[in-house]
């Protein structure tokens, strides 16, 4: 299992996750994004993952993605900066203030920058595949 049992803030590179392996030619990016956010909301309510906070960061300005706050899931738009820079700055701030933080991105440059400040990063696919809902919710 790649997700931890200790309370953690997961900073998720939203478009990177959707585009890295979830997006298939037969569906729109919007549909895949909506399905992922719905799934993550279910995960955040599962007793095995409820102690975590999931911050999904999307590049650019607001786009309709449904509710911005869903249980333990918070959706953020990076606005003037890139999602990578937002994640890096937020991870640095949280880590310096003693919060357990982990980034989820397949961007090797961002992973390298995070490693330099002592923040762990998971590849998108590994993170996604590590989330298993309780049998009763499947």
CATH number at residue 120: 3.40.50.1010
Q: Indicate whether 90 belongs to any domain.
A: yes
Q: Which domain holds residue 27?
A: 9-137
138 residues of the chain, pLDDT tens digit each: 345 678 999 999 998 888 887 766 557 888 888 888 999 999 999 888 889 999 999 998 888 888 889 889 999 999 999 999 999 999 999 999 999 999 999 999 999 999 999 999 999 988 988 887 655 444
In eight-state DSSP terms, residue 136 is G
Phi-psi region of 96 (alpha: psi -120 to 50; beta: other; left: phi over 0): alpha
Q: Which residue has the tokens 């803030």?
A: 9
Q: Is residue 1 part of a domain?
A: no
4 assigned to some structural domain? no
Domain tally for the chain?
1
Q: Does 133 reside within a domain? A: yes
Q: What is the pTM of this model?
A: 0.88
């Amino acid at each position: 299992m790649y997700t931890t049992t200790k309370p953690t803030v997961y900073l998720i590179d939203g478009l990177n996750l959707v585009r890295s392996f979830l997006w298939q030619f037969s569906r729109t990016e919007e549909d895949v994004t909506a399905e992922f956010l719905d799934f993550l909301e279910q995960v955040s309510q599962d007793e095995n993952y409820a102690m975590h906070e999931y911050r999904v960061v999307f590049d650019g300005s607001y786009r309709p993605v449904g509710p911005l706050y869903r249980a333990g899931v918070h959706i953020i738009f990076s606005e003037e900066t890139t999602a990578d820079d937002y994640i890096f700055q937020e991870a640095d701030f949280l880590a310096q203030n003693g919060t357990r933080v982990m980034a989820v991105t397949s961007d090797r440059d961002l992973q390298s920058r995070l490693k330099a400040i002592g923040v762990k990063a998971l590849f998108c696919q590994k993170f996604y595949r590590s989330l298993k809902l309780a049998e009763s919710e499947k």
